């Protein structure tokens, strides 16, 4: 069955349909990851986006329960060069095609993803739609241009009710802006007693629980669309150790007076090199974001840059000069990898223990 990817700039790609038969519209973005298609598709940071994989083959090892980053993925569509005809792996529990059908996500294969990626790199991310027929191309493009994508993405993916991830050691609150399961796995490895809270949680509600630390999770969209969350962070800053990841990093920077901007095509993939400023050490990181922190805006704040992206020099991490708080733009939990930066969770644990020791004294 034929399927078409239509871009708002007028480009049309013809390919073969797989996954759901639904037609869909979203922001077209690309990921440079060589593996991890399941983790990417189930990452809530891709909410309302049509995800293009630059790796030429996906689906070859199927889908399994261990690699979910969320149980209800919100990405709008999947685009690839080739869908594996047969999936083979000892952990495989389902095929990618069937998984997408179950989750109402359409896919298209057999298109020139190299050309498509070049268009996005040159012109930036843009709206696109996946349709099963294109009888009137101009009408389809006009409809696409007129479509307004929602900016309330976090509300779409955040938990509606608090829930626990029990442990026996430090008490950590995770504010869920679209949290990946791998964040909870890393906290569980460190035996944290975790409570996951909705993005609408207030500072008062957090502090009433007397947490040892607060983790601001990843999530989709523009951080400036979350003024309530920015206010919450301002009101817990200095009262409890904080770690921010991805969207959580951008929100922490906004809460401290910095600014953010929309990137041309963002960072998405599992191979982004980042330099730690203090040591010069280079780590490869997992990233998924379309916004970044303005480095000039940090100069008037109490935030100190700690990491930069080697390819484009964007800010990848900050630390507060006065309070126990730091954040990173990348995903140190790094599902499916690399795991170069996973020790940042240990740094968070040490920050919590140091603060608890000072309070005990």
Q: Give the separation between CA 289 and CA 274, rounded to whole angstroms.
A: 15
State CA 21 to chain mean position distance: 26
Catalytically active residues are: 246, 331, 333
State CA 216 to chain mean position distance: 12
- Collect all residues with Cβ–Cβ distance below 8 Å to 299 and sequence separation of at least 6: none
3-state SS record for 224-274: HHCHHHHHHHHHHCCCCCEEEECHHHHHHHHHCCCCEEEEEEEEEEEEEEE
pLDDT tens track, the chain, 361 positions: 999 999 999 999 999 999 999 999 999 999 998 899 999 999 999 999 999 999 999 999 999 999 999 999 999 999 999 999 999 999 999 999 999 999 999 999 999 999 999 999 999 999 999 999 988 889 999 999 999 999 999 999 999 999 999 999 999 999 999 999 999 999 999 999 999 999 999 999 999 999 999 999 999 999 999 999 999 999 999 999 999 999 999 999 999 999 999 999 999 998 899 999 999 999 999 999 999 999 999 999 999 999 999 999 999 999 999 999 999 999 999 888 788 999 999 999 999 999 887 776 5
**What is the predicted pLDDT for the residue at 135?**
86
Q: Check: CB of residue 60 under 8 Å from CB of residue 83.
A: no
Please, which residues bridge with residue 275 across strands? 282, 308
**What is the predicted pLDDT for the residue at 169?**
92
**What is the predicted pLDDT for the residue at 324?**
97
Question: What domains are there in the chain, each with its CATH number?
Answer: 2-149 (3.50.30.20), 154-360 (3.40.50.880)
**What is the predicted pLDDT for the residue at 360?**
65
288 is in an annotated binding site: yes
Q: Give the separation between CA 225 and CA 309, rounded to whole angstroms.
A: 25
- Helix (H) or strand (E) run with residue 58 in it: strand 57-58
269 is in an annotated binding site: no
Q: What is the DSSP string of 276-344?
A: ETTT--EEEEEEEEEEEE-GGGGGGSSEEEEEEETTT--EEEEEESSSSEEEESSBTT-SSS--TTTTH
What's the length of the chain?
361
What is residue 63's DSSP assignment?
Answer: B
Q: Check: CB of residue 26 under 8 Å from CB of residue 48.
A: yes
Both tokens of 336, joined, read 């499916």
- CB atoms under 10 Å from CB of 134, counted, come to 17
- 25 in helix, strand or coil? strand
**What is the predicted pLDDT for the residue at 81?**
98
- 22 in helix, strand or coil? coil
- 108 in helix, strand or coil? strand
250 is in an annotated binding site: yes
109 is in an annotated binding site: no
20 is in an annotated binding site: no
Q: What totals of helices (H) and strands (E) does the chain contain, helices first?
A: 10, 19
**What is the predicted pLDDT for the residue at 295?**
97
- CB atoms under 10 Å from CB of 313, counted, come to 10
């Amino acid at each position: 069955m034929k399927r078409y990817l239509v871009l708002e700039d007028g480009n049309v790609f013809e390919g073969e349909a797989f996954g759901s038969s639904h037609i869909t519209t979203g922001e077209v973005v690309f990921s440079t990851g060589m593996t991890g298609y399941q983790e990417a598709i189930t990452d809530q940071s891709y909410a309302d986006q049509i995800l293009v994989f630059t790796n030429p083959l996906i689906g070859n090892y199927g889908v399994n329960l261990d690699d979910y980053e969320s149980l209800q993925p919100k990405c709008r569509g999947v685009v690839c060069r080739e869908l594996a005809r047969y999936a083979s792996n000892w952990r495989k529990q389902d095929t990618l095609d069937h998984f997408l059908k179950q989750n109402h996500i359409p896919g298209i294969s057999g298109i020139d993803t190299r050309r498509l990626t070049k268009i996005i790199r040159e012109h930036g991310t843009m709206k696109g739609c996946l349709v099963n027929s294109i009888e009137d191309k101009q009408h389809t493009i006009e409809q696409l241009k007129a479509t307004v994508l929602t900016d309330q993405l976090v509300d779409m993916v955040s938990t509606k009710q608090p829930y626990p991830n029990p442990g026996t050691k430090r008490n950590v609150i995770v504010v869920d802006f679209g949290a990946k399961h791998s964040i909870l796995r890393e906290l569980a490895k460190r035996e944290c007693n975790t409570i996951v809270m909705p993005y609408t949680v207030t500072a008062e509600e957090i502090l009433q629980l007397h947490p040892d630390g607060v983790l601001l999770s990843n999530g989709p969209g523009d951080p400036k669309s979350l003024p309530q969350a920015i206010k919450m962070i301002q009101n817990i800053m200095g009262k409890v150790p904080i770690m921010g990841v991805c969207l959580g990093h951008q929100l922490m920077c906004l809460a401290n007076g910095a600014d953010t901007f929309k990137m041309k095509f963002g960072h998405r993939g599992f191979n982004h090199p980042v330099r730690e400023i203090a040591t010069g050490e280079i780590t490869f990181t997992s990233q998924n974001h379309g916004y970044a922190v303005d480095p000039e805006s940090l100069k008037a704040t109490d935030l100190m840059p700690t990491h930069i992206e080697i390819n484009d020099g964007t800010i990848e991490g900050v630390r507060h000069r006065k309070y126990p708080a730091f954040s990173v733009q990348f995903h140190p939990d790094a599902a499916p990898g690399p795991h170069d930066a996973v020790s940042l969770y240990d740094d968070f644990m040490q920050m919590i223990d140091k603060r608890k020791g000072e309070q005990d004294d």
